[in-house]
Structure 1
Amino acid sequence: MIAVDLTAATELAREALTAYGLPRDADLTLLKQRENFVFSLSHGDTDYVLRVHRRGYHSDEELGCELDFVRALHGEGVAVPHFVSTTDGRGFCVVGATHPAGAHQVDLQHLIPNRGNFGDERTGVDGTAAIDPADFAELGRLSAQVHAATERSGYTMAVPRDDWDLDGLVGPEPAWGDPLRIAELVGEDRAAVVAAIARIREALGAYGSPAHRFGPIHADLTPENVLRTADGLVLIDFDDFAAGWHLFDLATALYFYTPHPRYAEYRDALFGGYESVRPLDDADRAVFPAILLARGLTYLGWSADRRGEPTAEWHATTVLPHIVRLSRDLIASA
């Protein structure tokens, strides 16, 4: 099996086009390359987005569960992508059986015209992001609509995925890796993070996971995964969808803005927007700092397995001091 570069991904994408009744020689434009290769294309009067998924990231059953979840949300009127079925009615196709890169899953969705992403992780951390708090209020409403629609539709996960539960976040083997493996985390800073992890486990254990607090969530509600459109915000990229605390989505939306000078405004606006759709209570507010730090620790765990990659290095160096600060704050509040 060869490494999947742009050439290989393009070849796999072209093989998949025929499964959707589209011409194999359609013009493909790379939109994004991170975990997946994402292309845009047009046919007739319709614009599409095609994703070549990272090999082995999810089983066919797990990916099918993800797409079912997005379709359930779309059916409830939530602003999410609209996926296209293959000509024989499947939610996605698998191509590459004879390709050196091996078998890969590919899905197709309608392109969402947009003015760009909600924001950028780096400008959130460095404090230069110029986002109106009203935008965070809208993002809070969208997050709440996802959770409310999930409850309303009665959606249940058909197959297990890596849940964002207590063990998935801060257990012996966290879903995204052990944050304590970051070499730069030493001395008193490391001790603070270790103590904070114990506090997170205590706080989330007491908070519990009843249905009004815990269930299927997006789980990767970063500024890059929210599009600004003429009709409002649209939530994309459900790769990490699984069961988790509803507050985890809010924590993800805010995490990269914790160092921002307007953080308190953004937090209050996000919560206010959320509560215009779904209520929050005193227990939700009390546990939020623990969930916010838990979200940050997942990125350190992710980075520990990807040292040398630019984003991983940014988390392990530039963002690390903010993790330590949040850890100290959580310990001090106990």
Structure 2
Amino acid sequence: MAPIDLPTAEALAREALAAYGLPAGTELALLKQRENVVFALTAGSDDYVLRVHRQGYHSDAELSCELDFVRALHGEGVAVPDFVPAADGRGFQVVGGARRAGPHQVDLQRRIANHGNFGDERTAVDGTAVLPPEDFRALGGLIASIHDATARSGYAMAVPRDDWDLEGLIGAQPAWGDPLRLAELAGADRETVVRAIARVREDLAAYGSPEHRFGPIHADLTPENVLRTADGLVLIDFDDFAAGWHLFDLATALYFYTPHPRAAEYRAALFAGYEAVRPLDDADRAAFPAMLLARGLTYLGWSADRRGEPTAEWHATTVLPHVVRLARDLIAKGTP
């Protein structure tokens, strides 16, 4: 499904407001428009974030599963969003059935007071991001706390989602599309990536998926999805959560910073922060390069299916050489 246009998204948001006991005329301020459209609003003394989901990305059962996961983490004291139930007790509403755009899911959460995101993808890739390693230590601790809280809560996924396992990452039909369909990936670079994909499959199959390495994860831990608050870092946007390797969250957190001049420092700090809460072992470290490349390949597949969109074009041009470099490095690493 194509992303929804802003006027339609606002109309759908206003249709949903009544279900949450909020006036239809409430002022809506655009926060983000990419796959979903996200608005900020204030009602009385309370600040909220309202999310209009892209049509058809998740079923109602899959979205309920996502919200249940976030509530489980919130119940364990993890810094995540606090979703507001509608008047009928449901975690989200489906509106727009009578509109040309068709039905869309809408949810509401309390707005988290913050002073910006952890960072952004573009300054991470071009090396201009000015972040101390201590920030990555804090981020590693947050990721570990989420994995720990998931285990403590006993959360089990009620319905299947697009898992971030071998098939979801590099199978015949990857969850985010086939990276080899990207037109810019050609010639020797394409051959390198094909060889590296075989190596990713070999390494991750050997790594395995026991419970202490694999389970429900956030799966989209980009710098834009982490907020800086007075009380520390807060993780938002669980839209792509599913079962996957815990290491995949670490790989996502570091991925855009791999071209950065301080990448080695950032990686060491991220791992140290994680290990202060949850242990890692030699197998985790050995599998990390394959996981990092697998993360990069998902973005190429995503871009191949969205040509013309600014973010897709950026991945297909600016970021692509860094993915090829990761592929070469993995091949050169030798058998673990």
What is the TM-score normalised by the length of structure 2?
0.98
Q: Cα RMSD over matched residues?
A: 1.1
Letter of the 1:118 counterpart:
F
2:60 is the alignment partner of 1:60: yes
How many Å separate the matches in 2 of 1:78 and 1:320? 35
Corresponding residue of 1:30: 30
Q: How does 1:185-196 map to 2 (within 5 A)?
A: 185-196=185-196
- Counterpart contact for 1:37–1:52, Cα < 8 Å: yes
**Long gaps (5+) in structure 1:** none
What pairs up with 1:162-201 in 2 under 5 angstroms? 162-201=162-201
Paired with 1:257 and 1:115, the residues of 2 have a C-alpha distance of 21
The Cα of 1:3 is off from its aligned counterpart by 7.5
CA contact (8 A) 1:2 1:100 kept: no
Cα distance in 1 for residues equivalent to 2:36 and 2:327: 32
Distance in 1, Cα, partners of 2:304 & 2:3: 21
| Residue equivalent to 1:302 | 302
User: Which residue of structure 1 aligns with residue 146 of structure 2?
Assistant: 146
Q: Using the TM superposition, give the Cα deviation of residue 100 of structure 1 relative to its aligned residue in structure 2, in angstroms.
A: 1.4
Q: Equivalents in 2 of 1:4, 1:210: separation in Å?
A: 39
2:128 maps to 128
The DSSP-based 3-state class of the residue aligned with 2:79 is coil
Deviations 1:313-334, CA, capped at 9 Å, x for gaps:
1111111111111101000112
Structure 2 residue aligned with 1:330: 330
Residue equivalent to 2:267: 267
Give the letter aligned to residue 278 of structure 1. Answer: R
What SS does structure 2 have at the residue aligned with 1:299? helix
Shift of 1:265: 0.3
Percentage of matched positions with identical amino acids: 78
Partner Cα distance (2:143, 2:56) in 1:
28
Give the Cα–Cα distance (whole angstroms) in 2 for the partners of residues 154 and 258 of structure 1: 34
**Take 1:315 and 1:7, find their aligned partners in 2: how far apart are those partners?**
28
2:78 counterpart residue number:
78
Distance between the aligned counterparts of 2:3 and 2:111, measured in 1?
28
Q: Is the 8 A contact 1:21 1:87 kept in 2?
A: yes
Whole-angstrom distance in 2 between the partners of 1:2 and 1:257: 29
Residue by residue over 1:12-32, the C-alpha shift from the partner in whole angstroms, topping out at 9 and shown as x without a partner, is 101100101111111111111
Offset, 1:4: 3.0
Shift of 1:88: 1.3
Map of 1:253 onto structure 2 = 253
Q: Is the contact made by 1:289 and 1:330 (CA closer than 8 Å) also made in structure 2?
A: yes
CA contact (8 A) 2:65 2:157 kept: yes
Listed one character per residue, the Cα deviations across residues 171-222 of structure 1 (whole Å, up to 9, x for unaligned) are: 1111101101111111111111000000000000000000000000000000
Q: What's the counterpart of residue 217 of structure 1?
A: 217
User: Residues 124 and 257 of structure 1 are in contact (CA less than 8 Å); yes or no, is this contact kept in structure 2?
Assistant: yes
Partners of 1:174 and 1:117 in 2: CA distance: 29
Residue number in structure 2 paired with 1:240: 240
* Matched letter for residue 4 of structure 1: I
Taking structure 1 as the reference length, what is the TM-score of the superposition?
Answer: 0.99
Work out whether residues 51 and 107 of structure 1, in 8 Å CA contact, stay in contact via their aligned partners in 2: yes
Q: Which amino acid counterpart does residue 331 of structure 2 have in structure 1?
A: I
The amino acid across from 1:223 in the alignment is P
What residue identity is the alignment partner of 2:244? G
Provide the C-alpha distance between the structure 2 equivalents of 1:230 and 1:138, rounded to a whole number of angstroms. Answer: 13
Distance 1:183 1:13 in 2: 37
Output the amino acid matched with 1:270: L
Checking the alignment, whether the CA contact within 8 Å between 1:73 and 1:149 is kept in structure 2 is: yes
Q: Secondary structure at the match of 1:77?
A: coil
1:26-60 superposed Cα distances (whole Å, 9 cap, x missing partner):
11111110111101111111000000100101000
Paired residues in the alignment total 334
- Given residue 33 of structure 2, which amino acid in structure 1 is its aligned partner? Q
Residue deviations 1:273-299 (CA, integer Å, cap 9, x gap): 000110000000000000000000000
Q: Distance in 1 between matches of 2:165 and 2:3?
A: 33
Per-residue CA distance 1:208-245 (angstroms, 9 max, x = gap): 00000000000000000000011100000000000000
Could you say which residue in structure 2 is the equivalent of 1:227? Answer: 227
Counterpart-to-counterpart distance in 2, 1:310 and 1:4: 16
2: CA distance, partners of 1:268 / 1:123: 20
- Separation (CA, whole Å) in 2 of partners of 1:47 and 1:309: 31
SS of 1:290 mapped into structure 2: helix
Decide whether the 8 Å contact of 2:136 with 2:270 is kept in 1.
yes
Verify the 8 A CA contact 2:3 2:34 in the aligned structure 1.
no
Kindly indicate whether the alpha-carbon contact (under 8 Å) linking 1:2 and 1:101 is maintained by their aligned counterparts in 2. Answer: no
Contact 1:40/1:47 (<8 A) preserved = yes
